[in-house]
């Protein structure tokens, strides 16, 4: 089978190699849910290094923990291939399917394992923000990293250090334009409904770091009633939300 996936940048390839080295040869019990998987499919979990087809890989990685005898072991077995798939350019977003990694306390795993995962997620997010047209897109990577980390803090920390006028700031401006009205409604659940609610943290961070990108952002600091009064006045007066907004 020809691999048509996008080539990885040197930093991302290095981060992925580290994951592969740390988790190489890991296996998991072949005992699992026989309603969702065939015995032959489950047996692959006990075969170290055996490559799974993408469909089975994703099905395994998104199933809830009680489908397996040892869910963390399943995640460790699948992690090198899943992260390679996620970074490949074929991944299109988590949608309504939380990942196995986000359901484990991987930050408490042995240090070498936790550091390899953290390094990959950090590099993937940094690389996504560094280019004008990232694959699979800022929102898709944000969702998956949020789910896997169970936190938006590391993502926002990197965005806070962006260069003014650079690709990362342009991505942030676009992201704010897409999600600002959800945040005005105090509802960021659609960003990834299964992970901890990031609404309050996002609102506070945006007021501090992104108020110059969208005139609606400062409204997030107001109480809800005052917020919507100010928003209605802004709309009635035809105030453009951003410098590029000509409406």
Q: In degrees to the nearest 10, what's the CA dihedral of 44, 40, 94, 26?
A: -10
Residue partners of 17: CB distance under 8 A and separation at least 6: none
- State pLDDT tens for residues 165-199: 899 999 999 999 989 889 999 988 777 666 778 89
- State pLDDT tens for residues 86-114: 888 777 665 546 789 999 999 999 999 99
Q: Which pLDDT does position 56 carry in this prediction? A: 94
DSSP state of 176: H
Phi and psi for 32 in degrees, rounded to 5?
-165, -170
Q: Which pLDDT does position 193 carry in this prediction? A: 62
Q: Which residue matches tokens 């694959």?
A: 135
CA–CA dist 2, 110 (Å, integer)? 36
Q: Which pLDDT does position 246 carry in this prediction? A: 33
**Inter-residue contact 83 to 120 (CB < 8 Å):** yes
């Amino acid at each position: 089978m020809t691999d048509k996936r996008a080539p990885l940048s040197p930093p991302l390839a290095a981060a992925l190699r580290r994951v592969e080295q740390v988790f190489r040869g890991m296996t998991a019990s072949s005992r699992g849910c026989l309603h969702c998987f065939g015995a032959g499919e489950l047996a692959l979990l006990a075969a170290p290094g055996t490559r799974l087809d993408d469909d089975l890989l994703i099905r395994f990685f998104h199933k809830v923990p009680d489908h397996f005898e040892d869910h963390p072991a399943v995640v460790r077995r699948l992690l090198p291939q899943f992260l390679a798939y996620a970074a490949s350019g074929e991944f299109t977003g988590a949608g309504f399917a939380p990942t196995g990694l986000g359901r484990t306390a991987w930050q408490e795993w042995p240090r070498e394992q936790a550091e390899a995962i953290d390094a990959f997620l950090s590099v993937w997010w940094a690389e996504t923000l560094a280019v004008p047209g990232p694959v699979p897109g800022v929102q898709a990577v944000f969702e998956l990293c949020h789910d896997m980390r169970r936190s938006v803090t590391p993502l926002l920390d990197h965005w806070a250090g962006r260069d003014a006028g650079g690709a990362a700031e342009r991505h942030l401006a676009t992201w704010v334009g897409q999600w600002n009205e959800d945040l005005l409604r105090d509802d960021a659940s659609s960003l990834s409904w299964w992970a901890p609610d990031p609404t309050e943290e996002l609102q506070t961070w945006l007021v501090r770091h992104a108020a110059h990108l969208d005139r609606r952002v400062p409204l997030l600091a107001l109480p809800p009633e005052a917020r919507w009064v100010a928003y209605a006045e802004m709309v009635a007066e035809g105030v453009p939300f951003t410098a590029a907004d000509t409406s």
